[in-house]
Amino acid sequence: MVVEAPEPGKLSAILFTGIEAVSRQSWRDEALQQVVREEHASLVRELLPRHGGREVKRLEDGFLLEFEGGLSAVDFGLALQRELETRNGTVAAERRVVLRVGVHVGMVVHRDGDVFGEGVNLAARIEALARPGTLYVSESVARQVEGRLASPPVRLGRGEMKNIRLPVAVYRIDPREHRGRRPFLSRMRSLLSRTPTAN
């Protein structure tokens, strides 16, 4: 009997987006649904390369994305939500794109261009809990972004999740509390440039 070796895992930041129905009209009109989905997809694909992310796959009402670390994923999520807030102020209510975003850093397995594992499952569960217009993240993400945001993630509590072995702590990051934040590397360069040099 041949026993196959387990597939090697990798630590990744997994981000799910999910479109929230903002009006009954938009979700009764299939053509309008498609417009909203395509505008969401266009913005995701425009922003993703700027944050070093990878599109794993497009879902019916969202995306499964992968990043090297939690900070990159959160920066992307904040940028996406801010862009959508600006856009939504210029279109009719039925054309607004309102998203739930969930992020988790955990072990995943890559296979045939897709990702699998508890890290993916947990990110999906967190996205489903998220308040529209915000980011909900796991404790592993909150640790990675600690001290790197304008204000810390807000701990919402710890609870059981379907098909997840241990209770999970969930945090909220609200884009409205992070306006004007300079990226971490930019702030470091600014600090270094002000450091006096020896004569």
Give pTM, 2 decimals. 0.81
Q: Where are the beta strands (DSSP E) in 46-129?
A: 54-59, 62-67, 98-111, 114-116
Cβ distance 175 to 135 under 8 Å? yes
pLDDT digits (tens, 9 = 90+) for 43-91: 999 999 999 999 999 998 899 999 999 999 999 999 999 999 999 999 8
- Which spans in 94-134 are helix H? 118-129
Mean pLDDT along residues 171-182: 72
For residue 80, what pLDDT is reported? 96
Q: Which residue has the tokens 């994923």?
A: 73
Average pLDDT, the chain: 82
Judge whether residue 26 has pLDDT over 70.
Answer: no
Percent of the chain beyond pLDDT 70? 77
Mean pLDDT along residues 105-109: 94
Tell me how far apart the alpha carbons of residues 74 and 123 are, in angstroms, rounded to a whole number. Answer: 13
